[in-house]
């Protein structure tokens, strides 16, 4: 079985500060890992994904995440937060068969001016 834990339901940063959203996963098989962003009353947009290969993954809008197998983590970072980054972020995991994606509970990012 697979599961995802996002540490912190709310994260608040100042504009220009580092963004760090934490995600830990559990999987009995090599996982595929994802970060999605959701704006109010909208669907999800894929920020980045890790399948195989390079463990540091770069996504859209300046976000990146690093797959650390030893720590079972896939934390999302961005060097400098913008006001437009304020949204809900979901970490997700699926198995290599790709049949089902399990989502974390989400982290709401607030960006202060």
Partner 1 sequence: GAVVSQHPSRVICKSGTSVKIECRSLDFQATTMFWYRQFPKQSLMLMATSNEGSKATYEQGVEKDKFLINHASLTLSTLTVTSAHPEDSSFYICSATTDREAHGYTFGSGTRLTVV
State which of residues 2, 5, 7, 49 lies at the interface with partner 1 (CB under 8 A).
Answer: 49
> Is residue 5 within 8 Å of residue 21, measured between CB atoms?
no
State which of residues 42, 61, 80, 84 lies at the interface with partner 1 (CB under 8 A).
Answer: 42
State which of residues 18, 46, 56, 60 lies at the interface with partner 1 (CB under 8 A).
Answer: 46
Q: Which residues neighbour 107 within 8 Å (Cβ) at sequence distance 6 or greater? A: 6, 8, 9, 10, 11, 21, 22, 88, 89, 90
Tell me, by CB under 8 A, how many residues bind partner 1.
23
Q: Which residues form the interface with partner 1 (CB under 8 A)?
A: 32, 34, 36, 41-46, 49, 51, 90, 94, 97-106
């Amino acid at each position: 079985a697979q599961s995802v834990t996002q540490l912190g339901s709310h994260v608040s940063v100042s504009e220009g500060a580092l963004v760090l959203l934490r995600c830990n996963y559990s999987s009995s098989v090599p996982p595929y890992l994802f970060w999605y962003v959701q704006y109010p009353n909208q669907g999800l947009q894929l920020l980045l994904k890790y399948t195989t290969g390079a463990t540091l993954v770069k996504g859209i809008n300046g976000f990146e995440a690093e797959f650390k197998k030893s720590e079972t983590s896939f934390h999302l970072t961005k060097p400098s937060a913008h006001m437009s980054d304020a949204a809900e972020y979901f970490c997700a995991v699926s198995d290599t068969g790709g049949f089902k994606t399990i989502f974390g509970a989400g982290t709401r990012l607030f960006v202060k001016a």
